[in-house]
Each structure stands twice: as structure tokens, then as C-alpha cells.
Amino acid sequence: MDLKPPHRFYITTPIYYVNDVPHIGHAYTTIAADILSRFNRLRGREVFFLTGTDEHGQKVEKAAREKGRSPKGHADIMVENFMSLWKKLNISNDAFIRTTDTEHVKTVQGIIQLLWDKGEIEKRTYTGWYCTPDERFWTEKEVVQGSCPECGRLVEQIEEENYFFLMSKYQERLVQHIQDNSGYILPETRKNEVLGFLRSNELGDLCITRPKTRLSWGVEIPFDRDFVTYVWFDALLNYFSATRYLVPAAGQAGSGDFWWPADHHLVGKDILTTHAVYWSTMLMALGFPLPGNIFAHGWWTVDGKKMSKSLGNVVNPGDMADKYGVDAFRYFLFREVTFGLDGDFSETALMNRVNTDLANDLGNLLSRFLAMAERYFGGEIEVPSGNTTELNPFARDCVHAMIPAVDDTHYAHWSNLRFNIILDHIWNIIRTGNNHIAQKEPWKLARTDINELKVVMFNIWNALRLSAVSLYPFMPDTAEKMWKQLGLRSLVDETKQSLPATSWDTNEYPKIYEWDWMPGYEIRVSKGEQLFPRIEMKKKAQPGKDEKPPLAPSEKEGTGGFESGNLITINDFAKIQLKIGKVLSAERVQGSNKLIKLQVDTGENRQVVAGIGKSYAPEDLIGKRIVVVTNLQPAKLMGVESRGMLLAATDDSGEPVILVPERDVKEGAGIR
Ligand code: MSP
């Protein structure tokens, strides 16, 4: 068999049963495969990303019957749910396989014939305990006092003829293969579980057919028309059959359409055995090469509970994407939990991630940078003269963390699917970027050292640019938007254009990952829409405390559509004393880059501490007339007393903007 050359990358998801609608578990694996596909495409590899649906077998037949549909008719309807969800979640699959595709059915029949001819299959009589309502066999051990362990009804002993794949003879070879190829099953703990199982249990042979008298919805066995294949035998073969008819230029003479074996089969932990044992031994029997890796991820619980229809807590990925945005949802799934471990999903955790990582860290860095670039340089980014990395610790950090030619640690995590660590690296740069602004105080440099300001701005621009390329696989839309706001044209096209011609001989990355990459055209940043507005989190009502008092009937009327519980009376407002104050002096509070201590004249001298240090330099504040709440109870902020609060609005990027009177008013003037 001619094999896939190394510049091709083939990745699969499980094919999903069409007996139900897609949930977060389906979305999880599919997004993971999308992330890896996008990363590899950016690296210049040809990618074949396959997903699809598993449409045969008892589960689907039963679900169709309950709906009064034919199995195929049912599948045709249900498959749409998956296809439209993948579109919504921005999944870039290259093909979608359905096990009812004629070409797939033919491949399955060809393969079962091949195995039969090779003597890898035997017909045997099988005796087992059968639960007629559930339509399934149980072993002697599983049966509970003569009853079905699932539904509790009586089971009967049935003798049935079936075809068996002689799996047991591959046990030793399989153990050897797993031991010799450390990345074959990942994560490591799952590999050890499979090895432990194989070392301490004798592998049986696998029953791969069902008599048509019991199940007719399956692929007919070519050498015995009374039987159809067991659904897993048919399903696992999708990974191979797709390479016969769904790959690019399939079947065209000279197209070199070799795509086997897969680099990764991504699966959930519950279906690891079928892949690691059934599928691997099937391939051994066929004499086909084994895949590079089978990766088993963990399961999501929801608010600490198992996800189930009966609990009514099944997470609909489409709803989450509508509510919080596709990229925020994609980001959350891979940042929150290590890929491979179980994790808990909650909307509160998702909102926290959006507010802290996306709005505060990433969104803030970008919008502050863009605002400053516009303010100081009319949006132009210039490459400063001299070496910007040697002298500058921030730039050096970025180079070391993100440039593959300098340090490959970040990129090495891609081969082990350590998505959350990759994201962590990117976030280190983003956070360091925010600190860099606070330390360098560009607003001061604008007055004192334009050259240094250019260096700072260029370095931040570059850090944001590198973050965008690295984030692209996770958040493709966001990355493209960042790219455009940074004054560049197309992240994907420009990355591809920057690939060295020799990349596959030398294993090089696109030049775009280098610090000194420039697009060769004038860069003018453009502040676009805010990427991640903060989400207002609803406070949970504490009984007896936060509960609103019942409204008096008169309050219910004339509120102009506002919830009357939120309105205050003029008397309430009169309790707040607002005055014009003049800033006499200002300095930073030690140890904080946010807090500034102000001495303000509001008719009397008072000290006010304000969280405006990221947007204002202290010296810019001196002499300003501001609005101060003067009858606020004194409070201590980082140990410094504050008597009053200045008023500020919040702009699009979440930055405070101080309120000032429209023309000069004397300090101490009251505000009504
Ligand atoms: N049809 C088989 C797979 C055949 S592959 C040759 C199948 N289909 S399924 O529709 O049941 O898919 C289930 C997938 O979703 C599995 O990978 C499973 O691990 C995953 N999940 C189901 N519930 C899950 C969670 N609560 N959390 C994460 N993934 C979960 O199995």
C-alpha cells in the first residue's frame, strides 16, 4: 500500500450516532480536530480532516422506529443537525462521511470479504443471555438473578450463529506495538490502562455480525446474505474508507491520493477500547499500517453533575455559541480543562473566562494599543531603527516564548495536544504586554522620548501579531479580526505566503512566526469593533438579603418600561453629594499600577484614591477639574485612605474616562 507522505496530515473525529442531537461532547472532539487541522494548514501541510455520522445499528433503528421513520429517512433528517452545528462552530472539516454512503458500504463489504478470504473470520455458534425488549446480549457474569442488568426484565438463553473476527491472536502484537510506540495511545494514563487490561486479561474473539432476523439495519455480509455487520465493525472502517473516495482528487489517475494512515484519531475515553483494541487488531489482520496516535479525551460534567437527558442538563453547543460567541466557547473548552482529563462545564466559569482572559487581558491590550497607535502616530506602525529584541526584555521574552526557531517548547506541545499549555504561553505574552505598557508609560514617552515610544509600540504590535497567529487555530475569527485591526491584510494567506519553499525538507515554520517579519506594505492600524465586551454577571439572590422588597402598587406605574425595583426617588439622589474638585497633586500608590492617590480641593482638601492608573499618568491629572462624590464613607485601598470617589465613564475597551465640567467651574461647586 502506498502511504501518505509526511507533509500530509490526516485527522479524524468519531462518527456520531444519528439517534440523538449533538451535545457538548460531540462539539468538544470536533473543535479539537479543527484546532489541529488549522494549525497544520498554517504550517503548510495538506490536511484531510474527517468527521461524519454513524448511521447503522440498533440504536439508530430503534430511534427511527420511535419517530415512525425509516432508518435512512431518520438519518437524513438528523445528519443536518450535525452539519449545521459544524458550520456554526466554524469547523473546517474537509469531508463528512456517512456510513450509509454507497462507497463506504462497498469498502466495508470488500474488507470483510478480504478478511474472510484470509481466514481471519470464523463462523461460530454463540450462546448468551438475551434481553428481548432491549435487544441485546448479556454475558453470564452480567446477568443479575436471571434478569437484564439494565431494564430488570427476564433474559432468555439464546443460541445464535455468527461470524467472529479472530482478534485474540493479535493480543501480543498489540501489546508490543503500544509499548514500542510511546505516542500511540495518549494520554499516558490511558495508555497504561489499556496495557494493564491487555496484560491481565485474555482477549476474546470479536463477534462482528448480527443475524438479519434480529437486526436488518446494517451492511450486508457479501458471503452470507442472512447477516449484517455489527455496527462498530462498519463504523471503525470509516476512517479507512474515506481515504478511498472522500480525499482531495480521489480516484484521479496520478493524483497521488494516499492518505492512510491517520495521524490522530481523536475519541472520548468511553470509546478508547474499541479504537485501541478492535480497530488496531483489525488493521493488523488486514496488513494495513496503524495510525500515528489515538487520543482519548475526558468527559464533561455540567455544574458538577453527569450530563443526561433525564436531568435536563444537556449542554447545547449551538446555544452556547449564540449566547457567548463561537470563539469564546471554543476558547473556554480548551483553556479551562487539560485535554485528556475530565472537566466541569458551567456558564459561570465560561463568563469568568470571557471577562478575565478575553475582555480584560486580550481585549484590553489590543484596544489600548490601538488607541495609543492612533493617538501618537495616526495609526502608523514604523519599524524602529536598531535591534529591538536585544535591548528589550519584553521583546526578548516574546521571541523566546513564541518563535519556533529560537525555542521550540511552545510548538512541541502541539504534538502532544497540550492545548491549555499552549494557551497559557500565549496568555503570558498578553499579560506581560499589559504590564509592559504600565511600566513604560507610553503617555509619558509621548512627551519625552518619541524614539523609545516607537520601540515600545512596535514591540507590542509584534507581540499582538504573534499572539494572533498562535491563537488562530483556537479562535479563527478573532485572530483574523485582530490581524486586520493591527493593519495587516489576511492572516491565513499571508502566513501561507511566508512559508519557505523548502519547509518540508527542513521542517521550517512560516516566516510570519519570526520577530522581524514585515508585510512589505504600509501598516496602518484601525480600531474596529470591540472583540470581547464584558458580560454582566447576574448576582445570585441570597434569600432574605438580596431579594427585592415587594413593590408598592404606585411604584409599578409610570416607569417608562424600566424595572421599577431599579429606580430611585429624587430624595434618594439628593443623598449623594457631588462636587467639583481641582486636582492639586497626584502620585501612584506604591505596588499598584492601577491606583493613583490624588489631593483634591473640593472646597476643602481631601485625599481620593482612584483606579485610573492604567489610562492616566499622575502628572496629566494635576490642575484638572473633576467630579467627586464627597459624602462617601472613607475606605482604604491598598492601605491608603480615600475620602470620596471621582466619577469616570467606561469606554469601549473598558478603560476609565474621567468626567470633567464642560467649562471651568469653581472648585467646591455643587452638582445637581
Ligand atoms: N458512533 C460511535 C463512535 C464510532 S467511531 C468509529 C459513538 N457515537 S456517539 O454519538 O455516541 O459519540 C459519542 C462521542 O461523544 C464519544 O467520543 C464520547 O466520548 C463523546 N461524549 C459523549 N458524552 C460526553 C461528555 N459528557 N463529555 C465529553 N465527551 C462525551 O460513540
Listed in sequence order, the residues at least 6 apart from 213 whose beta carbon sits closer than 8 Å to its beta carbon are 226
Rounded to 5 degrees, φ, ψ at 48 are -125, 110
Lookup: cell for 52: 461524519
In angstroms, the CA 272 to CA 155 distance is 29
Q: What pLDDT is attached to residue 64?
A: 93
**Spatial CA neighbour of 317 closest among 298, 330, 335, 303:** 330
Give the DSSP letter string of 77-111: HHHHHHHHHHHHTT---SEEEETT-HHHHHHHHHH
pLDDT along the chain (672 residues), means of 10: 85 95 96 97 94 94 92 96 98 98 98 98 92 81 90 91 96 98 96 96 93 94 96 96 90 77 97 97 97 97 89 93 97 96 95 95 96 95 72 82 84 93 94 93 94 92 95 98 97 92 75 89 91 79 41 34 55 86 90 88 91 85 91 86 90 78 87 85
334-513 domain in CATH 2.20.25.160?
Answer: no
Give whole-number Cα distances, 254 to 126, 130, 173, 249, in Å.
Answer: 47, 52, 35, 9
Distance, CA of 143 to chain centre: 42
Give the DSSP letter string of 283-306: HHHHTPPPPSEEEEE--EEETTEE
Give whole-number Cα distances, 201 to 168, 194, 198, 207, 639, in Å.
Answer: 11, 11, 6, 18, 65
Ligand 1 nearest atom to the CA of residue 266, by list position: 17
Q: What pLDDT is attached to residue 49?
A: 98
Q: Say yes or no: CB of residue 282 within 6 Å of ligand 1.
A: no
In angstroms, the CA 511 to CA 495 distance is 8
**Spatial CA neighbour of 458 closest among 401, 400, 376:** 376
In this structure, the chain runs to a length of: 672
- Contact yes or no for 331/353 (Cβ under 8 A): yes
Q: Tell me, what DSSP letter sits at residue 337? A: S
Q: Say yes or no: CB of residue 53 within 6 Å of ligand 1.
A: no
Q: Say yes or no: CB of residue 94 within 6 Å of ligand 1.
A: no
List the residue whose alpha carbon is closest to atom 18 of ligand 1. 268
Pocket test for ligand 1, best of 29, 50, 217 (most atoms within 8 A of CB): 29
Within 10 angstroms of residue 601's Cβ, the number of other Cβ atoms is 17
In angstroms, the CA 284 to CA 203 distance is 15
Identify the H or E element spanning 8: strand 8-17
In angstroms, the CA 671 to CA 293 distance is 69
Portions of the chain given CATH number 1.10.730.10: 334-513
Give whole-number Cα distances, 641 to 578, 597, 604, in Å.
Answer: 19, 9, 16
Give the DSSP letter string of 550-580: PPPGGGGSS-TTS-GGG---HHHHHTS-EEE
In angstroms, the CA 602 to CA 607 distance is 10
In angstroms, the CA 435 to CA 446 distance is 18
Listed in sequence order, the residues at least 6 apart from 629 whose beta carbon sits closer than 8 Å to its beta carbon are 576, 577, 578, 644, 645, 646, 647
List the residue whose alpha carbon is closest to atom 27 of ligand 1. 299
CA of 16 to the centre of ligand 1 (A): 7
Q: Say yes or no: CB of residue 206 within 6 Å of ligand 1.
A: no
Pocket test for ligand 1, best of 26, 61, 219, 282 (most atoms within 8 A of CB): 26
Q: What pLDDT is attached to residue 574?
A: 80
Q: Say yes or no: CB of residue 340 within 6 Å of ligand 1.
A: no
Q: 123 - beta bridge partners? A: 163
CA of 296 to the centre of ligand 1 (A): 11
Q: What pLDDT is attached to residue 391?
A: 61
- Contact yes or no for 27/74 (Cβ under 8 A): no
Portions of the chain given CATH number 2.40.50.140: 567-658
Q: Strand locations in 168-240, DSSP E? A: 185-186, 206-207, 209-211, 220-221, 224-229
Listed in sequence order, the residues at least 6 apart from 319 whose beta carbon sits closer than 8 Å to its beta carbon are none
**Spatial CA neighbour of 419 closest among 263, 187, 261, 262:** 187
Lookup: cell for 102: 454507497
Listed in sequence order, the residues at least 6 apart from 126 whose beta carbon sits closer than 8 Å to its beta carbon are 159, 160, 161, 162, 207
- Contact yes or no for 597/640 (Cβ under 8 A): yes
CA of 314 to the centre of ligand 1 (A): 14
CATH ID of 8-297, from 3.90.245.10, 3.40.718.10, 3.40.50.620, 3.40.50.300: 3.40.50.620
- Contact yes or no for 348/538 (Cβ under 8 A): no
CATH superfamily assigned to domain 567-658: Nucleic acid-binding proteins (2.40.50.140)
- Contact yes or no for 264/12 (Cβ under 8 A): yes
**Spatial CA neighbour of 275 closest among 478, 15, 69:** 15
Residue with cell 450486508: 220
Q: What pLDDT is attached to residue 652?
A: 59
Q: What pLDDT is attached to residue 552?
A: 34
Q: Say yes or no: CB of residue 17 within 6 Å of ligand 1.
A: yes
Q: What pLDDT is attached to residue 665?
A: 85
Q: Say yes or no: CB of residue 14 within 6 Å of ligand 1.
A: yes
Q: What pLDDT is attached to residue 387?
A: 60
**Spatial CA neighbour of 154 closest among 144, 146, 162:** 146
CA of 33 to the centre of ligand 1 (A): 14
Three-class DSSP category at 55:
coil
**Spatial CA neighbour of 89 closest among 297, 334, 327:** 327
Ligand 1 nearest atom to the CA of residue 235, by list position: 6
Provide the terminal-to-terminal Cα distance of the chain, rounded to the nearest Å. 85
Listed in sequence order, the residues at least 6 apart from 295 whose beta carbon sits closer than 8 Å to its beta carbon are 185, 186, 187, 264, 265, 266, 267, 339, 340, 417
Q: What pLDDT is attached to residue 382?
A: 84
In angstroms, the CA 139 to CA 152 distance is 15
**Spatial CA neighbour of 454 closest among 380, 402, 351, 395:** 380
Q: Say yes or no: CB of residue 275 within 6 Å of ligand 1.
A: no
